[in-house]
């Protein structure tokens, strides 16, 4: 989990975080956000998109797990911690990953 940007996502933000990390045969699944579509096109990646309100693309692809993880993190930050400074947001995302055991041991050293 890596914070790309606070505010509206831009193509350059996506490139900075994940450019060059996709194999030729992968598919990028997202809503119809223009920045994500532009990134997929520039990287020659298959882009499967759907209306954000539908949450799924033909029943085969979905992003529910990602949305659930983001919603849970937001709940922790806003309700449990009563808000945080945005400059520490990446640290809280790292803590959330460790807390929920979404980090393997190799990544743990990088985070800490």
Q: What is the pLDDT of residues 34-50, one digit of tens each?
A: 999 999 999 999 998 88
**Tens digits of per-residue pLDDT, 4-43?**
888 899 999 999 999 999 988 898 988 888 999 999 999 9
pLDDT value of residue 104: 57
Mean of per-residue pLDDT scores for the chain: 83
Phi, psi of 63 (to 5 degrees): -125, 25
Give dist(CA 73, CA 53) in Å, integer: 21
Check if the beta carbon of residue 76 is closer than 8 Å to that of residue 96: yes
- Only one residue has tokens 């041991």, namely 105
What pLDDT shows up at residue 31?
A: 82
């Amino acid at each position: 989990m890596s914070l790309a940007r606070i505010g509206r996502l831009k193509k350059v933000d996506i490139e900075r975080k994940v450019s060059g990390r996709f194999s030729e045969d992968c598919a990028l699944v997202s809503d119809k956000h223009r920045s994500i579509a532009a990134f997929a096109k520039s990287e020659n990646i298959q882009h499967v998109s759907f209306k954000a309100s539908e949450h799924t693309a033909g029943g085969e692809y979905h992003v529910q797990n990602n949305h659930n993880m983001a919603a849970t993190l937001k709940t922790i930050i806003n309700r449990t911690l009563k808000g945080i400074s945005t400059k520490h947001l990446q640290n809280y995302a790292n803590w959330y990953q460790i807390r929920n055991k979404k980090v393997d041991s190799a990544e743990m050293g990088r985070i800490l």
